[in-house]
Amino acid sequence: MSVKASVSITDQQDDYARSLVAAGEYASLSAVVQRGLELLRAETERERAELAALRAFFEERANGPFISAQESRDRTEAMIARKRAAHGL
């Protein structure tokens, strides 16, 4: 279903949209605007999904087990030692 809507765009946006139509990349100005809206929708959905994933990650981490700073340093040093040994360093 299509809905007619009146929108205002800048002269530069109009020139660009018309150049896309003239180049045969889009059938009409409406098609250019529709594509722009679809890209914006997809970007917004992706950003929302990424933000939800980050929130879930941090919530999981906040509720997870914690180790002391010293234990963290010890684990890091042990990992570096293993990597050095594996590479003959």
Instruction: Tell me the whole-structure pTM to 2 decimals.
Output: 0.64
Q: What angle do CA 66, 69, 72 make, to 5 degrees?
A: 75
Q: What angle do CA 59, 64, 65 make, to 5 degrees?
A: 155
Q: What confidence tens digit (pLDDT) does each residue in 16-64 have? A: 999 999 999 999 999 999 999 999 999 999 999 999 999 999 999 889 8
| Structural domain boundaries in the chain | 11-86
The answer to which of 3-7, 32-36, 64-68 has the lowest mean pLDDT is 64-68
- pLDDT at residue 64, as a whole number: 82
